[in-house]
Amino acid sequence: WSLPAAPVWPRMPGVRLDFGLLLEPLGFIKVLEWIFAIFAFATCGGFQGETTLLVSCQGVVNKTVTAAFAYPFRLNTVVFSAPDPNFCGGTWTDVYLEGNFSSSAQFFVTLAVLVFLYCIAALVVYIGYKHVYNQNRRFRLTDLAVTVITAFLWLVSTFAWAKVLADIKMSTGASIILGIESCKAPGTTCYFAAVTSMGALNVSVVFGLINMILWGGNIWFVYKDTNFHNQPNRISQSP
């Protein structure tokens, strides 16, 4: 008897590093998409802020009451807690902010993180396995499909996040005093003091628009690498 023959595995093409592709539009835009995806989820997902009131009542003058909020902006769980049970003679009760904006915020940040990971994978293929990418039609079609879908998702998530950001500013601004029943008690006066600047969140919307433009423009360069673009040229050149 004899030992069975060892299985023959398909030979995988070796890695061929080619950093020159990073200077071409396809690779250069992918690097920009990677960088701006980092900026998008960092400016939104890393935000922390607070809104502050000054409360005057029995035996208390301009006492600071603060509510801290952060990503993912479930403001309906954020409370203005009384410093002590006897605050304002016991008339002050816990007051919650209004609104749960986590869905749009998490959609925006999750998309940015997934784009960040996809760009890393795409750059690995572009730099080390470009010969495989060129030889396999499915890689180019998949890249085109992902690019089109991602550009659309950036459009949807950015505008949804911009709308939600306006609502967050409203829910943490001076208008919150009108909905606080404790501020309407006799002898109690509330003043809006301050809210953390949301400049970083405004910048995150800008990064979302930049990502939308980058992915929308990149559709053309990815399309040029597919047979959809090459086939008409071959037909026109054939006798």
What pTM value is reported for the model? 0.81
Per-residue burial over 174-212, b if 16 or more Cβ lie within 10 Å, else e, is: eebeeebebbebeebebeeeebbeeeebeebbebbbbbb
Which letter does DSSP use for residue 46 in this model? T
209 assigned to some structural domain: yes
Number of domains the chain is built from? 1
Chain position carrying tokens 């900026």:
39
Which letter does DSSP use for residue 20 in this model? G
pLDDT tens sequence across 113-127: 999 999 999 888 888
pLDDT tens sequence across 179-189: 888 888 888 88
38 assigned to some structural domain: yes
96 assigned to some structural domain: yes
235 assigned to some structural domain: no
134 assigned to some structural domain: yes
What is the reported pLDDT for 147? 92
233 assigned to some structural domain: no
Domain housing 204: 24-226
237 assigned to some structural domain: no
164 assigned to some structural domain: yes
